[in-house]
């Protein structure tokens, strides 16, 4: 069994910063791409940023230059440094990872965390 646990959400004023963390644990053989998605109220879930095992990252246009995704493969953890936050960044942020499990089939399955709420408001 695999778990993704996010942390770091909260309330921040416009222009402020937050750092999200997501740690994967359990019977993990390897992890391919990991990423952050977000879902604002009344909107569809959207990709924020993703990073490969080798460290290649891609970002949604709306967060380029403000958010930075990073990864610690030894800890099976990713981070999202969010700077210059805007009210429109308010959403539940979900961690996502493609994981191959120990003693399982040689395929990567998608896993999700439970989400962490980020609220940007004065």
Q: What is the pLDDT of residues 12-68, one digit of tens each?
A: 999 999 999 999 999 999 999 999 999 999 999 999 999 999 999 999 999 999 999
What DSSP assignment string belongs to the chain?
Answer: -EEEEEE--EEE-TT--EEEEEEEEESEEEEEEEEEEEE-TTS--EEEEEE-TT--EEE-TTTTTTEEEEEEGGGTEEEEEE-S--GGG-EEEEEEEEEEETTS-SS-EEEE---EEEEE--
Q: What is the pLDDT of residues 69-111, one digit of tens each?
A: 999 999 999 999 999 999 999 999 999 999 999 998 999 999 9
Q: What pLDDT was estimated at residue 1?
A: 87
Averaged pLDDT of the chain: 97
């Amino acid at each position: 069994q695999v778990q993704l646990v996010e942390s770091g959400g909260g309330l921040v004023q416009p222009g402020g910063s937050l750092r999200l963390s997501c740690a994967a644990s359990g019977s993990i053989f390897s992890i391919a791409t990991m990423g952050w998605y977000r879902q604002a109220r009344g909107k569809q879930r959207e990709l924020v940023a993703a990073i490969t095992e080798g460290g290649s990252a891609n970002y949604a246009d709306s967060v380029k230059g403000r958010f930075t995704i990073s990864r610690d493969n030894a800890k099976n953890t990713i981070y999202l440094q969010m700077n210059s936050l805007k009210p429109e960044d308010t959403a539940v942020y979900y961690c996502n990872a493609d994981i191959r499990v120990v003693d399982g089939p040689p395929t990567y399955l998608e896993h999700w965390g439970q989400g962490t709420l980020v609220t940007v408001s004065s």
